[in-house]
Structure 1
Amino acid sequence: MKIAIIGAGAAGLAALRRVLEASTEALPIEAVVYEKTGKIGGTWVYVPETGKDEYGLPVHSSMYDSLRTNLPKEVMGYPGYPIPENSEKRSYLTRTEILAFLESFAEHFKLREHIHLYHNVELVEPVGGTSEWKVRVRDLKGDRSLDVRFDAVMVCSGHYFEPAIPVIKGADKFKGETLHSHDYRRPEHFAGKRVVVVGAGPSGMDLALEISRKATSVILSHHSTEEILTQFPANVSQKPDIVEMTVNAVKFADETEAEVDAIFYCTGYKYSFPFLSRAAGVRVDDNMVAPLWKQVISIANPTMALIGLPFYVCAFSMFDLQARFVLKFWTNKAQLPERSVMLADHEKEKKDRFEVRGWSKRQFHMMGPLQGEYYDDLARTAGVEGLPPVLIKIHNVSSKRFLDDLVHYRGDRFEIIDSDNFTSTVAQ
């Protein structure tokens, strides 16, 4: 069996580890990872450049220079390979520490020999009349394209690289600067400016705080029904959504307006798979990727899996669990349901999210309070080991601390006692 893995970030590395482990004498598996950049680590690789790279491709990473994780390291390791303790016993790590961990993971499991750097996947399509896939990949350094056949494909390309920018009346009239967080690197960029940060998700909250140290004033514009209670610096205020832009000002939903120098969009990202042919059978509809069974296996072509779509999760552990889930079926250790059953599961999931919970398509892959149920369902369905409940407990506590005390929460410390229990020390 020959499996293609697209992307050598945290999801691709998790998938590659499990693919190599699944290879046996009875069913030898060859794994090939295609990574379009020159390094492993995906979005954790910081590059100061924005726009296009040396090969004319869009810069993939959205990493900014000062980033520290917004989840503690105790929930960010892989099963059987946790992030080691540091000398200061810090739970919240820098981007360089996470990247070093991913590099150590790749070395420990001898993954590098299977990874082809500077190889950009241009097309993935099923080969008609067969069970194979054709993957067209561009060898960027060799400046040539290759068509390679595979039995299965794991898409591990991430979803933090294609900016989502809202449509706002008058945006074309605004003469100030507009920037999406994808292209943000350092706070000095906003020195002395009056800035509106659009969006109060994790990045919007973090970046409003960070740029407030350099900007003259920061307005955090969001559509949360309740005011965010965290204590921001004095030069940060909150406003509802922007309803209109003018040449040098913005108007808010509360009928107030403010003169500003820059609009900073922290409005998230679009799921994007430009290399997937229509025949692959997966569509993105208002950021809902479908139809997928259990949010991971393509129902139209079950030998394709998309690892890592759900968000507000214990990401690295979830990538690992999804890979083990998929491989149980691909190696015939478990039997996939009929297509009609998978479609019925997918429709049931849509009904729960849309009708019962009142969520939108854009929230389809959101887990948060549902993540424990999702992990348990994957483990139970495929007969694989699940994730320890302590991960979800720490995730929930740390997420609440983020909302309650944005300024200090990264000083909190966590320690896992066993699969159910942990201790924590709250920063003052």
Structure 2
Amino acid sequence: MRIAVIGAGAAGLAALRHCTKQSNQTNIEVVCYEQTGEVGGTWVYVPEVGTDAYGLPIHSSMYKSLRTNLPKEVMGFPDYPIPENPKSYLTRAELVDFINSYCNHFMLRQYIQFYHHVEFVEPLSGDDTGKWSVQVEDLTKNQVSIEIFDAVMVCNGHYFQPNIPKISGDSSFKGNMLHSHDYRVPEFFSGKKVVVFGAGPSGMDLALEISKTADRVILSHHLTVPFLTKFPDNVIQKPDLAELTEHEAVFKDDSSEIVDTIFYCTGYKYSFPFLDENCGVIVDSNMVTPLWKHMLSIERPTLAFIGLPYYVCAFSMFDLQVCFNFPEPNQSQCYVRSACCLQVRFALKFWLGDKKLPTKEDMLAEEKREIETRRKEGLSKQQFHMMGPKQGRYYEELSETADLDPLPPVLTTLHNESSQRFLDDLSNYREDRYKIIDNYNYVQL
């Protein structure tokens, strides 16, 4: 079986890890295409914005000072935990070092073709066996080739295509407009009056960070549940941005502010520009569909998307999405069974014939039921892949369906605890320290 992996971030490396481990028992060949010259995906910091040396959009949205908003205790891989560290919340450089260490430890670099840009993926014409044609450009040689694969794992992440809402009057605004994708250092906002539009994790984090250099920060959002975090005196909160004039921002409560900059922290769109329409997957209101378990294409199940769900223990989820049955790790390692790897292991169970897929009709019906359940909970299509408190049940479903060892419940519990701490004490929560005791319990040190 020949498998293509698109992207060498954490999800792509989890895919490589399990594909290469399984290749010792099954005839698997795996090739990973990475557009840049490094592993780490979204965690790799580059000071440049716009386009790279090859004219391609810069993929990374990483800013210089970022620290993780989840403790390292829920961010390791199943068989390769993050080493001991006096901190629970790591810098982006420390996490990139860990990802490189994982890559080197399992000797994954040899399977990665760096500076290779995937231009086009389509089902092999006239072939009913599920094979794929993948067109790739070697950026260093300016050469294009086409390779044939039995399956494709899409691991290109979802923090690179900015979602910028249309605001009435935005074309007349005379100040600066910036999306968080292009943010690198707070000095850009020195002395400015800034509207931070959006109060998700990035919006709250960046409102706090730029308040150190900006003259005034207006955090504009539609959250109805108040959070306890106390911001500096130069940060105020306003309802959603409703309109822009040449120099003013007008909010939905009809108040207005004279501002210099609109800073969009409005998230990202799922984007797969290399997928042909015949792949059978579309993005509808930022929901990738039709997919079984947020992962396998229902129309063509040898196409898998690793890492679509968000607000999750990501590395762990990737692992489960591609899993096999391995010897059980010792208890001290159980908590690092990663979700990335969970997804990878799940996909391979079906691709290798260890488990049989449901019928197409059953998979479509399951997706439809989940859409309806979420609708009744007040969630839109745009929030279809959002997990948060639902992540524990999602991991259980993957494990039960594919007969995989489940992720320990402590991962979800600690993830939810740290997320609440983020809302309650944004300025100080990264000083918290945790230790996992067993599959169900942790302590704060």
Normalised-by-shorter TM-score class: over 0.9
* Aligned residue in 2 for 1:285: 284
How far residue 346 of structure 1 moved from its aligned partner, in angstroms, is 1.0
Identical-pair percentage: 61
CA deviation vs aligned residue, 1:211-246 (integer Å, no higher than 9, x gap): 000000000000011343211001000000011100
User: Is the CA contact 1:173–1:247 (under 8 Å) kept in the aligned structure 2?
Assistant: yes
**Residues of 2 paired with 1:204 and 1:376: CA distance?**
31
**Residues of 2 paired with 1:400 and 1:227: CA distance?**
12
* Aligned residue in 2 for 1:331: 352
User: Is the CA contact 1:22–1:327 (under 8 Å) kept in the aligned structure 2?
Assistant: no
How far residue 393 of structure 1 moved from its aligned partner, in angstroms, is 0.8
How far residue 24 of structure 1 moved from its aligned partner, in angstroms, is 4.1
Matched, 1:116 2:113: yes
* Aligned residue in 2 for 1:138: 137
Q: Secondary structure at the match of 2:170?
A: coil
Task: State the AA in 2 paired with 1:16.
Answer: L
**Residues of 1 paired with 2:73 and 2:126: CA distance?**
47
CA deviation vs aligned residue, 1:330-383 (integer Å, no higher than 9, x gap): 1111111111111111111111111x2121111000000100000000000001
* Aligned residue in 1 for 2:334: none
Task: State the AA in 1 paired with 2:166.
Answer: V
**Residues of 1 paired with 2:211 and 2:101: CA distance?**
35
Q: Secondary structure at the match of 2:208?
A: helix
**Residues of 2 paired with 1:59 and 1:362: CA distance?**
24
**Residues of 1 paired with 2:140 and 2:23: CA distance?**
30
1:343 to 364, 374, 392: 364
1:97 to 84, 94, 115: 94
Alignment of 1:140-155 (within 5 A): 140-155=139-154
CA deviation vs aligned residue, 1:158-210 (integer Å, no higher than 9, x gap): 00000001111000110000000000000000000000000000000000000
Matched, 1:268 2:267: yes
Structure 1 unaligned segments of length 5 or more: list them.
none
How far residue 129 of structure 1 moved from its aligned partner, in angstroms, is 3.0
Alignment of 1:162-311 (within 5 A): 162-311=161-310
* Aligned residue in 1 for 2:4: 4
**Residues of 2 paired with 1:201 and 1:377: CA distance?**
27
How far residue 148 of structure 1 moved from its aligned partner, in angstroms, is 0.3
**Residues of 2 paired with 1:149 and 1:402: CA distance?**
45
**Residues of 2 paired with 1:76 and 1:226: CA distance?**
28
* Aligned residue in 1 for 2:384: 364
* TM-score (structure 1 length as normaliser): 0.97
How far residue 385 of structure 1 moved from its aligned partner, in angstroms, is 1.1
How far residue 140 of structure 1 moved from its aligned partner, in angstroms, is 0.1
**Residues of 2 paired with 1:420 and 1:144: CA distance?**
52
Q: Secondary structure at the match of 2:27?
A: coil
Q: Secondary structure at the match of 1:154?
A: strand
1:406 to 421, 426, 429: 426
**Residues of 1 paired with 2:216 and 2:426: CA distance?**
18
Task: State the AA in 2 paired with 1:349.
Answer: E
Q: Secondary structure at the match of 1:172?
A: helix
Task: State the AA in 2 paired with 1:333.
Answer: D
Aligned length: 421
Q: Secondary structure at the match of 1:251?
A: strand
* Aligned residue in 2 for 1:77: 76
**Residues of 1 paired with 2:84 and 2:225: CA distance?**
37
Q: Aligned-residue CA RMSD in angstroms?
A: 0.8
Task: State the AA in 2 paired with 1:3.
Answer: I
CA deviation vs aligned residue, 1:90-124 (integer Å, no higher than 9, x gap): 00000000000000000111100000000000000
How far residue 295 of structure 1 moved from its aligned partner, in angstroms, is 0.4
Matched, 1:127 2:148: no
**Residues of 1 paired with 2:108 and 2:406: CA distance?**
24
Q: Secondary structure at the match of 1:116?
A: strand
CA deviation vs aligned residue, 1:372-425 (integer Å, no higher than 9, x gap): 000000000001111111111110110000000000000000001111111013
**Residues of 1 paired with 2:406 and 2:108: CA distance?**
24
